Amino acid sequence: MKKIVILISGRGSNMQALLAANLPCTIAAVISNRADAQGLQIAQAQGIATAVVEHKAFANRELFDAALAQTIDAYQPDFIILAGFMRILSAGFVQHFYGKLINIHPSLLPAYTGMHTHQRALDDGVKIHGCTVHFVSADLDHGPIIIQAAIAVLQDDTAETLSQRLLAEEHRVYVQAVRWLCLEQVTLNALDKVDFGFTKQIGHALFSPGLE
């Protein structure tokens, strides 16, 4: 059985969805860079080991990343699941764990990397927004894509309503992606492409606004 660790910085709703999903893996630990991350208490209440590596305790990113890597390595995980982990990881860290680091980002990558994705989508007037689960590469919010979910942007949406609607889909796709990884139905090949061990495809389009 595969072993995963989950990295969080705050609320931890994606982590909670993963904990609730009865995944075919061992969840070895939840690690946070902030001692006050709400998700830590949720994990502890479910009997999951937790650890804190406070980024503020380190003089620079490289030292923090080295301490974080050491903490992760102690668990020997097959995958490191970033779930609202709000630190940019150094190239050395990404290299050390390449192929094992998975992230969820609240946009249809490669659009809207970085912060404030919902507001930026609204400002641009896009009609379809979404989220992406991907292998992490050294470039921020880039890397081979595993799954995306798209949702319609509604006329009266605010960044808040849009993010709330998208979060429900984030939980679904993250659970699905981690399940695939644990069952080796999704793998990263030598050309940095994602291979799928199944062929489920959908043929219909999402129209937004809807067609008359």
SS3 113: coil
Task: List the end-to-end C-alpha distance of the chain, in Å, as a whole number.
Answer: 49
Q: Does 13 bind ligand GRF (CB under 6 A)?
A: yes
Q: Does 10 bind ligand GRF (CB under 6 A)?
A: yes
Among 40, 53, 104, 153, binds ligand GRF (CB under 6 A): 104
SS3 161: helix
Q: Which residues pair with 104 in a beta bridge?
A: 133
- Using CB under 6 A as the binding criterion, the count of chain residues that bind ligand GRF stands at 14
Q: Which residues pair with 4 in a beta bridge?
A: 27, 79
Among 7, 30, 68, 106, binds ligand GRF (CB under 6 A): 106
Determine the distance from the C-alpha atom of residue 202 to the mean position of all C-alpha atoms in its chain, rounded to a whole number: 23
Q: Minimal distance in Å, beta carbon 13 to ligand GRF?
A: 3
Among 65, 141, 157, 170, binds ligand GRF (CB under 6 A): 170
Q: Does 77 bind ligand GRF (CB under 6 A)?
A: no
Q: Which of 105, 118, 129, 134 is catalytic?
A: 105
Distance CA 43, CA 30 (A): 7
SS3 188: strand
Q: Minimal distance in Å, beta carbon 32 to ligand GRF?
A: 10
Q: Which residues pair with 52 in a beta bridge?
A: 32
Q: List contacts with ligand GRF (CB under 6 A).
A: 8, 10-14, 83-84, 104-106, 131, 167, 170
Q: Which residues are catalytic?
A: 105
